[in-house]
Amino acid sequence: MITQEDIEKYIEKIPPAPKVVQQTIRLLQAGELSKAAKTAMQDKALSIYMQKLVNKPIYGFRTEVTDVTQIFTILGIGGSLQAVYSYLMNILSPDEWHFFQMNRQLFWDLQAELTALWNKILKHLHKEDRELETAITLLPSSMIVAEALFREHKKDVELIRMTKDLDLSTILERLSGYTLFDISAMIAKKWEMPQEIVKIVLAASGKPAKVEERVSSAGKWMHLLLFYVLSQPRFIEAGLNDFIEFNVEYVEDIYEEFGEIMEIEE
């Protein structure tokens, strides 16, 4: 099955972020929105991705937005960072999925759904913070990791799960000592993403650790959001409902408020 050596080889194969993307991120972090948009336009694939992402129905734009500069202006610095980091996840995602019943379009939909609903939560909580906003973009990387690591061992995983009802992250941890979220953190470090984002995503695994309240709170909301989104029929059919174990006690204090937020019409 999967060993630490397998995981190390997987991390080594992950390419660094493209130079244009790195430059765009640095400019956004420096508050240079206009320069970031001009830089992003040098990468045709990035430009096309942002156009497709922001024109999904969940973003609610009445007319199609195609101009990259306009997209950056509409999204602002935080939203633009979200989109660029989401593009990095899209680069990492496979063209064909075999372990999960996914495809590139469904993965895009998942990214857009998580991002839009995360923004809705932050707006309700009156949280304006770039790192809180962009943390959601790293979450889908754990699904890409699961696909990459388990696709060659699908029968073995199914056999383990027939014996014990375990989620995928727990199975990986027992085999290698790493959870899927640990590996996502490794990816984030390789791409030089802020440490705060790494901490939040680790907290979103539902396994509480001793972290500052700000990180713990964000992790709770993200943990609950993940299960809310993955409970949709299309993601259940893809097999994502068996991703990680839902820690009810971890999110008990925000459960009711979360339900109220999801019911609020935009």
Domains and CATH numbers, the chain: 4-16+96-263 (1.10.3210.10)
pLDDT the model gives residue 47: 92
Q: What does the pLDDT average to over 5-14? A: 86
Contact call for residues 224 and 249 (beta carbons, < 8 A): no
DSSP H or E segment with residue 119: helix 104-124
DSSP 71-114: HHHHHHHHHHHHHHHHHHHHHHS-SS-SSSS--HHHHHHHHHHH
User: What is the average pLDDT score of the chain?
Assistant: 88
Distance CA 51, CA 3 (A): 39
Contact call for residues 109 and 49 (beta carbons, < 8 A): no
| pLDDT above 90 coverage of the chain, percent | 36
Q: Which residues contact 206 (CB under 8 A, 6 or more apart)?
A: 223, 244, 245, 246, 247, 250, 251
Residue 190 pLDDT grade (very low, low, confident, very high; cuts 50, 70, 90): confident
User: Radius of gyration of the chain from Cα atoms?
Assistant: 18
- 210 pLDDT above the threshold of 60: yes
Long-range pairs, 12-21, Cβ under 8 A, ≥24: 14/92, 14/187, 14/190, 15/91, 16/190, 16/191, 17/88, 17/191, 17/192, 18/43, 18/46, 18/91, 20/46, 21/46, 21/84, 21/87, 21/88
pLDDT the model gives residue 22: 94
Judged on CB neighbours under 10 Å (0-12, 13-18, 19+), 27 is: buried
pTM of the model: 0.86
Q: Structure tokens of 14?
A: 């992950």
Q: Helix, strand or coil for residue 232?
A: coil
Q: Which of 241, 225, 252, 262 is nearest to 100 (CA)?
A: 241
CA distances from 124 to 200, 248, 257, 258 (A): 19, 22, 10, 10
- 263 pLDDT above the threshold of 90: no
CA distances from 136 to 22, 86, 89, 117, 258 (A): 19, 9, 11, 10, 16
DSSP secondary structure code for residue 167 in this structure: -
DSSP secondary structure code for residue 161 in this structure: H
Long-range pairs, 157-160, Cβ under 8 A, ≥24: 157/99
| pLDDT above 70 coverage of the chain, percent | 98
Q: What does the pLDDT average to over 185-198? A: 88
